[in-house]
Amino acid sequence: MTDFTQAVVIGGSIAGLLTARVLADFYDYVMVVERDRVPDRPENRRGVPQSPQPHVLFTKGYRILEELFPGIGDDLTVAGAVAIDWAREFHYFNEGVWNRRTDEPTDITSFTCSRPLLEWAIRQRLAAFSAVKVVDRHRVIGLLATNGQITGVELESVAGKARSQISTSLVVDASGRQSAAPKWLENAGFKAPSETVVNPFLGYATRRYRAPKDVAAAWKVMLISQQPPDATRLGYLATIEDGQWIATLGGYGHDFPAIDEAGFLAFAHSLPSSEFYDAIIAAEPVSPIYAHRATANRWRHYEKANLPNGFVALGDSVCALCPVYGQGMTISALSALVLREWLMAGKGRSVDFQRQLAQSNRFPWMLAVGQDSRFLTTAGRSQPNWVENLLSGYIKQLMKQTSVNAEMNTLFIEIAHLIKSPAMFYHPNVVFQVIKNMNTKGTK
């Protein structure tokens, strides 16, 4: 007779749900503990305060979703999510110019929809896995330890405050950027991981609109980008389900967008291109304006900690990024694959998992922190050295080329969507193109 195996996942959001999917292939029983009541339809949740904010699903993240839940794209389509070809349908204003998009269909695709719809679609798919049980309205309040390793969790019911203990051979913390796991580890006699925080003091304000029926927009997603070090403002507008647009304004360095009607519109009007403002002024608002300011980059260094076995952490609880770069859900999906590899290799030490995860998180972290550090108002910013300054001058030139060269634009999107290595920016053919075109009209 084989031993019955069980794992507990803390948090039933994107990272927790994808983790449960992976664990279902390795454990007889996977318990996902979620403090919220889990809604049976797409709805904002209190435990995920970023729910009303826009959530870009990168092509890499979408491909991993399809790998874990084959056919989930069909479910999203039926539920109203909008398929997007990012090289053709993403309208991007950066370095004072709009990007040049290809006319040809590409495979750089995913869906644009609200965050609650995407989470709901994943939850629906996970329900088909009989090994997984989501225990909602319960919160984890501590870790149990025996002989130097984690052997379970302590739960509290949100309704009655009744407490219980669950023994398990693996605990995965996926409880997000406010995770209390460092404190739980300390309470159980272990050291909390050190952390790095880089805070750009970015604030979002987001509102939904009914898209005008008579306007056939030549884009599905529009972004007017911030431009460090001086231009702090951005605007993001995306087509989502139910014939709606989600419109977001962002401001770096405490330049927060207002959440009253007049202030919101004035902020939109101040963007360096009028296209965002022109679009929303012709559309009907259908929601309040939601603000969000918890946007710091935070890396908890579990990979350097003296971590007890039986416990691992992933998703935002380890590496939460400034949302402007749209990477969070995709790095959660990548985390789930790292977990799968670690389990397939025989579930070694917990710290080995965290080291592999740190490798996976490194490029998204460097991208977010590198860009945010170009604002002098960012707390904890890294000072670029002369090589980084040189490279950033080169990337600036390359970005200007995306306005005249559709191939360059496609390459930029592939790298941003984590499906090509950033090393491709330095491929000899690309370097040659950038240098050749540096002095041509429109790219100076």
List interacting residues with ligand FAD (CB under 6 A): 10-16, 33-36, 47-48, 50, 53-56, 139-140, 174-177, 204, 292, 294-295, 315-317, 323, 326-330, 332
The CA–CA distances, whole Å, from 214 to 210, 237, 268, 280, 337 equal 12, 17, 22, 14, 43
- Looking at the Cβ atoms of 283 and 313, the one nearer to ligand FAD is 313
> Looking at beta carbons only, is 35 or 207 nearer to ligand FAD?
35
What is the DSSP code string of 222-289?
Answer: EEE--BTTTB-EEEEEEEETTTEEEEEEEESTT-PPPSSHHHHHHHHHTSSSSHHHHHHHTSEE-S--
CA distance 53 to 340: 30
d(CA 414, CA 422): 9
Q: What is the DSSP string of 32-92?
A: EEESSPPPSSS--BTTBTTTTS-----HHHHHHHHHHSTTHHHHHHHTT-EEEEHHHHEEE
CB atoms within 10 A of CB 376: 10
Q: How far is the CB of 433 from ligand FAD (least distance, A)?
A: 30
- Say if CB 216 and CB 387 are below 8 A apart: no
In the complex with ligand FAD, the residue whose CB is nearer, 54 or 308, is 54
Q: Are 404 and 100 in contact (CB under 8 A)?
A: yes
Quick one: 154 or 352, whose CB is closer to ligand FAD? 154
Close Cβ partners of 27 (under 8 Å, ≥ 6 residues apart): 5, 6, 7, 131, 170
Minimum CB–partner distance for residue 371 and ligand FAD (Å): 15
Beta carbon of residue 398, minimum distance to ligand FAD (angstroms, whole number): 23
271-277's contacts with Cβ under 8 Å and 24+ in sequence apart are: 271/224, 271/233, 271/234, 271/235, 272/93, 272/96, 272/224, 272/227, 272/231, 272/233, 273/93, 273/98, 273/224, 275/91, 275/93, 275/222, 275/224, 276/222, 276/224, 276/235, 276/237, 276/247, 277/235
Sheet containing strand 170-173, strands side by side: 132-136, 29-34, 6-10, 170-173, 311-313
Cβ 323 to ligand FAD shortest distance, Å: 3
Q: Which is nearer to ligand FAD, 87 or 174 (CB)?
A: 174
- Least separation in angstroms between residue 113's CB and ligand FAD is 11
Q: Using N-to-C axis directions, what is the helix angle for 328-344 and 59-68, rounded to 10°?
A: 40
Query: Which of 35, 91 has the CB closer to ligand FAD?
Result: 35
CB of 124 to ligand FAD, least distance (A): 16
Which residue, 322, 325, 294, is CA-closest to 223? 325
Q: Which is nearer to ligand FAD, 295 or 443 (CB)?
A: 295
User: How far apart are alpha carbons 74 and 78 in whole angstroms?
Assistant: 6
Cβ atoms of 119 and 42 within 8 Å: the answer is yes
Q: Closer to ligand FAD by CB, 12 or 251: give it.
A: 12
- Could you tell me the smallest distance in angstroms from the CB atom of residue 331 to ligand FAD? 7
Name which of 48 and 368 has its Cβ closer to ligand FAD.
Answer: 48
CB of 57 to ligand FAD, least distance (A): 6
Both tokens of 142, joined, read 């501590």
Which is nearer to ligand FAD, 16 or 152 (by Cβ)? 16
Smallest distance, ligand FAD to C-beta of residue 440, A: 34
Tell me, what DSSP letter sits at residue 218? S
CB of residue 290 vs ligand FAD: minimum separation in angstroms?
A: 9
Cα 268 versus chain centre, distance: 24
Q: How far is the CB of 293 from ligand FAD (least distance, A)?
A: 9
- CB of 330 or CB of 403, closer to ligand FAD: 330
CB of 90 to ligand FAD, least distance (A): 13
**Residue closer to ligand FAD (CB basis): 336 or 398:** 336
